Amino acid sequence: MSVLALTRATASLGGRTVLDRVDLSVAAGELVAVVGPNGAGKSSAIRALAGLLPLNGGDARLGGEGVAALSPRERASRVAYLPQERHIAWNLPAIELAALGAPFLQAADARAQAQAALDEVEAGHLADRGVAEMSGGERARVLLARALATGAGGLLVDEPIAGLDPDAQLMVLERLHARARAGQAVLVSLHDLALAARFADRVVVLHQAGVVADAAPMEALSPDVMARVFGLAGRWVDGPDGPLLAAGRRQLAG
């Protein structure tokens, strides 16, 4: 059974359709990357699964139960959500912010789980530093640690590597991949197609609010899909650490 699932999901924002009969699922032990151009519906799909975007039609389920029927506490116990935005209102120490990801534990246990999550994303040395005093990359690590500290069966992660240096991008995706291998269901939105191909078990390609491909990375990101969805003339080549994308802008006729 899928831990995370959208079935024929339809949603709109401001009169614009942002999800159009989207089918998407993630099983335990699986990392699925959702990719697509800006405005394709990636964040909307993740928000719908988090219970933050009401559906006009179709269904969103966590662990087989409808998201709309779950209380906020039940949703929080089943799935962790990391949004794109990294704004933090208060200058909390990193350890306290990360501990907010484990609200159902006793304070000491939540703090221990938060420290373990900070260590996991190589930010343990930031535990006592205020998040407002950090760089954007450091803050991104702390926010990821907050999501990891939940221990929920599902992880919804929206553009976690945006603005990070290459080494940090690889570290984040390695950690998410490890979480999937440990049994969590991980759904992550990405813009980097090569990294999606390298780390994901499956890639879901969204375009104009609908799914145009859902398959193993090299199949989902075929030359035809890259041309039609991303406007790229691309092909995949073998690299020392995984597939590499050789691509350029597609030349339009006329």
Q: What is the CATH number of the domain that holds 188?
A: 3.40.50.300
Query: Would you state the pLDDT for residue 254?
Result: 41
Look at residue 105 and tell me if it is in a domain: no
pLDDT over 70 percentage in the chain: 98
Where residue 10 falls among pLDDT bands split at 50, 70, 90?
A: very high
CA distance 14 to 10: 14
Question: Bigger pLDDT: 238 or 136?
Answer: 136
Look at residue 109 and tell me if it is in a domain: no
Look at residue 134 and tell me if it is in a domain: no
- Residue range 58-106, pLDDT digits in tens: 999 999 999 999 998 899 999 999 998 877 888 999 999 999 999 889 9
Q: Which of 63-77, 96-110, 177-191, 227-241 has the lowest mean pLDDT?
A: 227-241
Q: Does residue 253 register a pLDDT over 50?
A: no
Look at residue 143 and tell me if it is in a domain: no
Look at residue 6 and tell me if it is in a domain: yes
pLDDT average, residue stretch 117-143: 94
pLDDT over 90 percentage in the chain: 79
pLDDT average, residue stretch 168-178: 96
Q: Evaluate if pTM is beyond 0.85.
A: yes
Query: Tokens 């139960």 label which residue?
Result: 65
DSSP secondary structure of the chain = -EEEEEEEEEEEETTEEEEEEEEEEEETT-EEEEE-STTSSHHHHHHHHTT-S--SEEEEEETTEEGGGS-HHHHHHHEEEE-S----SS--BHHHHHHTT-TTS-HHHHHHHHHHHHHHTT-GGGTTSBGGGS-HHHHHHHHHHHHHTT--SEEEEESTTTT--HHHHHHHHHHHHHHHHTT-EEEEE-S-HHHHHHH-SEEEEEETTEEEEEESHHHHT-HHHHHHHH-EEEEEEEETTEEEEEEEEPPPP-
Look at residue 49 and tell me if it is in a domain: yes
Where residue 163 falls among pLDDT bands split at 50, 70, 90?
A: confident
Query: Would you state the pLDDT for residue 85?
Result: 84
Amino acid at 241: D
Where residue 250 falls among pLDDT bands split at 50, 70, 90?
A: low
Look at residue 74 and tell me if it is in a domain: yes
The total of structural domains in the chain comes to 1
pLDDT average, residue stretch 138-167: 94
Q: Does residue 166 register a pLDDT over 90?
A: yes
Give the range of the structural domain holding residue 219, as residue numbers without chain letter: 2-86+153-249
Query: Would you state the pLDDT for residue 243?
Result: 75
Widest distance between CA atoms in the chain: 66
Question: Bigger pLDDT: 30 or 194?
Answer: 30
Give the mean pLDDT of the chain.
Answer: 92
Burial class of residue 153 in the structure, from the number of CB atoms within 10 Å of its CB (0-12 exposed, 13-18 middle, 19+ buried): middle
Query: Would you state the pLDDT for residue 251?
Result: 55
Contact 48, 208 (CB under 8 A): no
Look at residue 110 and tell me if it is in a domain: no
CA distance 67 to 51: 6
pLDDT average, residue stretch 192-219: 95
